[in-house]
Amino acid sequence: MSALSEPASYRPAPNPPTTRRLAADAAGIAEAARVLRAGGLVALPTETVYGLACDATDPVAVARLYAAKGRPSFNPLIAHVPDIEAAQRVGDFSPEALALASRFWPGPLTLVVPAIPEATSELARAGHSSVAIRVPAHEVARAVLAAAGRPIAAPSANRSGHVSPTTAEHVLADLDGAIDLVLDAGPCAVGIESTILDCTISPPALLRPGGLAREAIEQVLGAKLARRATPQGKADDLIAPGMMASHYAPSVPVRLDAHEVHPGEALLTFAGARPAGSERAAAIFDLSPAGDLIEAAARLFAHLRALDAAGASGIAVVPLPREGLGEGIRDRLERAAAPR
Ligand code: AMP
Ligand code: MG
């Protein structure tokens, strides 16, 4: 049996923070960057809506962000960077993608390109081998990104299912006490989210209409955008037939809610549970020996990969909690377990 994996990066969640509200001046910007680099959650103004920002390279910070938003599944997050040079360290740009970036960044356009794997955490990409990238136009956002010096995930700063916030008051109405800091720069200007283009295909496909008009994009491309039926650009809509390959899934069968380990199987467990047959498991990985769902979410993709590499005939997964991030973890494992 292989050793239990205990990534050194996990830090236990701190006591529930009180949310600080700072003016978006030089001191506020420096503090926001410091909190982000320390793995904290910061609501930032962008030209579209207030974003809930975290370090996109840190799976624990990303898990905390999903928990604060109360998202029922792990949607892929947009990596925000201060300029094109930083963007090219996060993803692979085709000449077409580069032409769009040069023309429209900074601005309300998000480009999905093949990911440079080490540049963002797999949890931030929700397992995709592509990454969505944007350079926001808001000068406060860009100053924070430049000072943070790493890609920053920033979905809208609201609880899942609520409307996107365009003021610091909206942010606090939803997330007071759940995040570390709000950087207040007054109301946002555009108020609708970025247009999202899939640039992993040519011509690119419109995944979500938004703050930049299709016509302006088509003019630069000299071609019509391909159509992709993805209302609202929800991550679920991306899991169309033939697209699973872009989503990490183990090569062996995954069996959920297992109460015993079958011969030849490896075990994915939680909170130290050892179901019958564990002693003959090909490998055992515990998502969180302490039973912490944020730690479990942060480790999910790394553990799936390690289990996949263990040479087992299948992966048995113990019953996992359904509350909090448990719902997103179960959702991801159900996709991994789906017949392909
Ligand atoms: P937002 O809610 O504005 O943060 O936008 C997030 C949306 O970006 C997701 O729900 C997806 O629709 C899209 N997105 C992010 N990453 C990817 C990706 N790698 N591939 C396709 N779409 C993505
Ligand atoms: Mg939103």
CA distance 68 to 77: 14
Residues 184-234: tens digit of each pLDDT: 999 988 778 899 999 999 999 999 988 898 999 999 999 999 877 544 344
- Residue 227 CA, ligand 2 centroid: distance in Å: 22
Q: Which residues of the chain form CATH 3.90.870.10?
A: 20-237
Q: Over the stretch 125-170, which tens digit does the pLDDT of each residue have?
A: 999 999 999 999 999 999 999 999 999 999 999 999 888 899 999 9
Q: Are 110 and 78 in contact (CB under 8 A)?
A: yes
Asked whether 155 lines ligand 1 (CB < 6 A), one says yes
Query: Looking at the predicted structure, is the pLDDT value of residue 283 above 50?
Result: yes
Q: Is 321 exposed, middle or buried (0-12, 13-18, 19+ CB in 10 A)?
A: middle
CA of 194 to the centre of ligand 1 (A): 10
**Ligand 1: which atom is nearest the Cα of residue 128?**
19
- Cβ–Cβ < 8 Å for 267, 250: no
For the domain covering 20-237, report its CATH number: 3.90.870.10
Alpha-carbon span 155 to 78, nearest angstrom: 7
DSSP label at residue 92: P
pLDDT of 2? 40
Which residue puts its alpha carbon closest to atom 6 of ligand 1? 77
Phi, psi torsion values for 109, nearest 5 degrees: -130, 125
Whether the link from the prior residue into 136 is cis, omega within 30° of 0, is no
Residue 69 Cβ < 6 Å to ligand 1: no
